Structure 1
Amino acid sequence: WLADYLQDNPIETSGARCTSPRRLANKRIGQIKSKKFRCSGNEDYRSKLGGDCFADLACPEKCRCEGTTVDCSNQKLTKIPDHIPQYTTELRLNNNEFTVLEATGIFKKLPQLRKINLSNNRISDIEEGTFDGASGVNELILTSNKLENIHHRMLKGLSGLRTLMLRSNRISCVSNSSFVGLSSVRLLSLYDNQITSMNPGAFDTLHSLSTLNLLANPFNCNCHLAWLGDWLRRKRIVTGNPRCQNPYFLKEIPIQDVAVQDFACEDGNNENSCSPVLRCPAECSCLDTVVRCSNKGLTRLPKGLPKETTELYLDGNHFTQVPVELSNYKHLTLIDLSNNQISTLSNHSLSNMSELLTLILSYNRLRCIPVRAFDGLKSLRLLSLHGNDISLIPEGAFKDLSSLSHLALGANPLYCDCHMQWLSDWVKSGYKEPGIARCAGPGDMTDKLLLTTPSKKFTCTGPVDLSIQAKCDPCLSSPCNNDGTCSSDPVHYYRCTCPYGFKGQNCEEPIHACISNPCQNSGTCHLKEGEGSNFWCVCPEGFEGDTCEINIDDCEDNDCENNSTCVDGINNYTCMCSPEYTGELCEEKLDFCAPELNPCQHDSKCILTPQGYKCECTPGYVGDHCELDFDDCEENKCQNGGHCIDAVNGYTCICPEGYSGLFCEFTPPMVLPRTSPCDNHDCLNGAQCVVVGTDLRCQCLHGYEGEHCETLVSVNFVNRESYLQLPSNLLSPQTNISLQIATDEDSGVLLYKGDNDHIAMELYRGRLRVSYDTGSYPPSAIYSVETVNDGSFHSVELVAADQTLSLSIDGGPPKSISSISKQSTLNIDSPLYLGGMPEQASVSGGLSALQLSSGGHNGTSFHGCLRNLYINGKLQDLGARQNPGSPGSGNLWSNRQWLGNGVEPGCQPCQRGACIQGDCHPTGNQGFTCTCHPGWTGALCDQQVSNPCDGNKCIHGTCLPINSYSYSCRCQPGFAGVLCDEQDLDTANPCSLSRCKHGRCRVSGLGKAYCECNSGYTGEACDREVACRGERVRDVYQRQQGYAACQTQEKVSRLECRGSCPGGAEGQGTCCTPLRSKRRKYTFQCTDGSSFVQEVEKVVKCGCTKCSS
């Protein structure tokens, strides 16, 4: 609006210009077009209240601002920045170095703030009042810190908080006052802490809580935690299943699944992490809140220091600075750090200790007192700086010490000029210094007392000595030599960063130049005599330059032939041949039809032509290299649904059942029925008689065994009313019962026996629960660690002996219980029920409240399969007829018609004919899946497919239909196998099978692998050493021209033939000599200044030939 106004009213004559933003900086306001004035990024939030003369703060230093989000993460911050814009709605402070959250009042200035992220710091404490003014914050993330406990004072002010994340801390206890004032919290995560116990009512103040995460905590399920199991079952707001870790017999059992009577404080298990614990560091001695750690050689604050400490003695140790962690101990009234090695103090290092009364820093190495070193110590009464090296104290250093009554400054070299006059007046005003501190200068002020010397004597007569000023700024005296860089150091006073060639505390010590290995590429460094900082390099062959940094281009004068490409190496080169040539210099033309290079496949014939080669294919194959098998089934003559199988240069017909002939042209013959020997069989229970050779056998239905299928060994309890009753005379005082079960249910009665006493085994929340009582009440109970409701069969064994019962699952270690009673044995007169019980049965105890709450046997019956029941080693016939007169008996007789309602024989879900055109596979209790035959689909394989490639299994290839129900796979290059699931190494990488011992594998233009041997080796695998070989050298050619010595202007790369040849000594056999050479012209430069051009014979290949005479 202002620019528009000034353009309409040109009354501004001073040339007012914009300062920001940068895009308009230094431009005249009256000359900027309206469209240039825009708000980008967070400028709109900063300036939207400009009409009220309010401009919000800029983005804090080291932070990033996007919209209303201020991101200060990953900046190594230890305090929350002071100047945060008021428009901020989300503040990210994660991944920093916070240890304590201080009550600075920052959140009172941020009314729009809704989310705070403080994760991944090192926060161990939160001051009371830190979140004052943060009532609008609804999400606080404190994940991955070091909090050991939570109390409501820490989170005071967060009345509107809805989400509180406390994951991955060190919290060991949750008390019933931890979350007072957080009634709006809906989500609370305490995942991955060290919580072993929680006080009853710990979450009662969280009225809005709907989601609670307690996983990954080492809960001790003793009597102190008994309330939690019932609370979890009632509230149903917990994530997952928090589990017990102690005691041992409850380890990994979900807390909400443990019966109330099993939460016990027995055998010394009475631990409660919420009880107050008094700790003392191992290096110290403690008496109440007084901790003494004197003369222990400490360099840092000992671990485990109690937060309640009031007096801390750290004298006689090796501290080099005041520990920053001391600011976390707010109850300290005395700190003794005398006789250490502290050389500097930092500003605000003690500012949080509002209760500190005594601070002793005597006999250290203090040289300088920062002006704000003692800020915040308003209660301090005694300060001892005696016996240090302090010369100057800046005015205002003691301004916060309003309660100070005693100051010890003796044995310090005080420099009493005009800058120290304030201190003299300050100690005189209250006689805070007892008249011990003396001046060490300047001039006639030496040995004068600070307390009694008149203030007018403190004068400045000249510049302060540099050694005095350097105590607070050590770099003023330029201690670093040889252009070293000086920086202050809190421990070592100052530190020098030395330039190359120097070392030592002050960079005074030269180092020789070769220590940093300046010569590259394995060059050798040599120092120049008398010059420690200068050097020269001896380069290996193939390199040059002052530091051997240049790889000489050996391709400048190469001998590669037939348009091949030269590739530079180190002191050599390699010729990369075109597809038609080979050899070291690509001088030999390839014979493609040679056995090692022949590209024609499947025994086809290779023929050389002027244009290259061609392949004459054997019958049945096609393609440029005869690589494709022609599909002879494309025009097959198979009849009557015969399946064509391709072969080389032909095919075969696979005939349906009953058909025959080359093309399946013959139909099946007529077969007349005849009388079967099984007409008069005696197979029981619906079994089928089959003839095997001359013998008759009974093929039993599922669940039956025996020669005539007379014994029922497995049953399936389908309905909730089903059960079996066995006669009581099967049991004895010493009883062993074993059986196998499969179910996916959470609950159900497996076995029950008892009237006034009982033994009971049931499924309880997926585990086996066994209770046993021979006369006492309540009965004893034990749980299996394993869950058995996964649909698979599990073996269960019960052994009862007198008053002891042992339980074993799947052959694992047994768990035992005992019942204390005067009665010695189990009452064996009562009936034994399997899988459930009748409504009229008398239940004296033992079944869990979870089972009985459903009423009668409908809520307790087992649903699943039971097989192989052995009682005292004898397999029981589950189909044997029961007593028909017993009320509510199972009515089981020796034939299937007598099985009760809901009890089915057998445990196999795959009944005959379940899958119409496929194979049946059981999947659990009574489920199954079908794998269909080719050409069929559907859940029961009862639908014929029209396209056999639907759902094909070709991995790296294309599906090709063969007929209406089968297909084949055509593989992509590099793959093979029926389903194209195998990598064809020869095609994908021809070099994968090649082994070049002294060389490297190359691929020819035809895709064939061959070995390129290193110099001095030969053979197909480069495994034979060549005695006669050419070694490449790079040097000048030399000639004698009269009295002048001449040489080529540049070094020339050439071969020198070296080595011996078989056949005897030279002159009697063969010699290593040049086989090929070229003539090249080179310019020679002579010592007399003349030059000439001459042809030189340059060797390009060596070998063994007959020695010349």
Structure 2
Amino acid sequence: MWQPQLLLTLVACSVIVCGGSVAPSAGQLRRIWLQDHCNAGICTGVEISRNDYVILSQAPIAKQLMLTFINSSIAKIPHLMFDTFPDLQLLRMENCSLDTFEKPQFEGASNLMSLFLGYNRLKDIPKNIFLGADNLATLHLQNNLLKVLHNLSFHALKELKELSLAGNQLEQLPLGVFSGLRKLVDLNLAGNRLQALPRGIFDKNLNLTRINLAENRFVTFESELLKLQSHLMLLDISGNIMPELTLNFSLLEQAVAHSCDLRRVTVYGIVKDLDVHNNSLLDIPHIPVASNVTSLDISQNPLGNLQGNPFRRFTALMRLNLSSTNTQELAEGLFKKQTQLQMLDISANGIYSLKITMFDSLKALQYFYFQQNNWNCDFLQLLMSSFVKRRDISFMEDITAPELVDDYVDGIACWYESNKPSKKCDGGSTGNSDSALELSIVRNEIKAFTELVEKKFIKVYRMLDEMKLKL
């Protein structure tokens, strides 16, 4: 609880507005009551200029564990913050105007465990700045203006487990920048300008289990960087434009590499969950030890009709996404080995009909998404009655406009044979059914073409950004 004696005394060096009133002229002593802006440890509308000299309460205020400043014009963490609040465990100053640290910034912050400084204007993390914050476990610095880090930027953070540097402007990292973070578990470097990482940069981070490198400028990825991380749970390299990807881990729970324009993916070792949707794959990923894969997302790739039995080694699959893969036919024995499959998505393709016996092995299926295809109405009725409804499987209704279809079966759009009357047209008018089918095919082709163009534009924009940087 905020105590009545708590106040901020500021010597104003410039005219600022605080709490709706105009500050006294330069040189005058100004006092404002902090509790006027705070309630239960949450402070809003607190404005402190970077030139103001801030003095907190002369006596320490005990048992204040959390302090949050939201949308406040604070250019720096107030001096002696942790002398005033010796028990502070969480400090949140996001969407403020922080642009600098002052030494010794964290002296007396031994109880601080979580520090959130995202969405500010910080450009640098000075060496040894965190001295005093010996027990800090969570540090978020995302969406600042950081361009450079030093080997000692995070010195003294021996207990740090979670670090976010996402959404900054980092172009390279020094080899020893994370070497002191022996307990680091979660590292987020997404949304920077990194093109490569020095080998050995993670050699001291043996507890690292989650790393996000998405939306950078990598053209290749080396699994060697994480060779010592034996308990890796998540690797995300999405949004980095690269032609090929080869992963080699003794055990990786989840690998995410969507929107990379990948043409080929090879996975050695064990990966349980692989997400490579929205790429340029013509074949499914090559995974010699595919029997450990439980989830595979290869949607939004131009795979076409899958030949042979490409999933025969994926015997442990529980989730499979084949949506938007330009598929028109599925082989009868395609899912013969997927007895544990719980979710199957074949939506947004050009499938007209299937062998109903191909679903015989899918005993565990609970979710089946097959909307936005070119289904024959007679087959769709059979599929619904003999498989989907009979086993009480969840599905999703279609969004195709009524004027483009012949009929719906339980909310799924379908078309009749061209030599049969359309239920939505007069008995002698069969041309509308053919036109509807053609419109549906064109719709799918336009969608696939649009997705391809979007990928090309992403690549062109990245090239333009690189040219601007060079200029």
TM-score for the superposition, normalised by structure 2: 0.45
Radius of gyration: which is bigger? 1
Kindly indicate which of the two structures has a greater share of residues assigned to helix: 2
- Flag the structure with more relative contact order, 1 or 2, with Cα contacts below 8 A and sequence separation at least 6: 2
